[in-house]
Amino acid sequence: MITVKLYRNSQGGIYAFDADNHGKSYVCAAVSALILNTVNSISALTAEKYTCDYDKKGGHISFSLADRESDSHDARLLLNAMELGLDDIQRQYSKQLQIL
């Protein structure tokens, strides 16, 4: 099962996430695409500073905005869009994806 843990700041905004147990199924591919697109979009389209660590074999990714209380509309929008996509996948494939 893929697990994605979302971390929220005092205002309820997502500032970090960890994803584990990516495999080779189509659900894993969908989750990976959402996550990587979010990280790449934050990098290319915002001025937010962040850290991102990942296992090169694809089993784990950890992302965190440098400022957990960031008020960046763009980064917040991108992270919320990722959560929306993950929620949709979880509704259809609850035995393969768990969002914490």
User: What is the residue whose two structure tokens read 């965190």?
Assistant: 64
Based on C-alpha coordinates, what's the Rg of the chain? 13
In angstroms, the first-to-last Cα distance of the chain is 12
Domains, the chain, ranges and CATH?
2-99 (3.30.70.1490)
pLDDT per residue, tens digit, the chain (100 aa), is 899 999 999 999 999 999 997 667 889 889 999 999 999 999 999 999 999 998 877 679 999 999 988 778 999 999 999 999 999 999 999 888 889 8
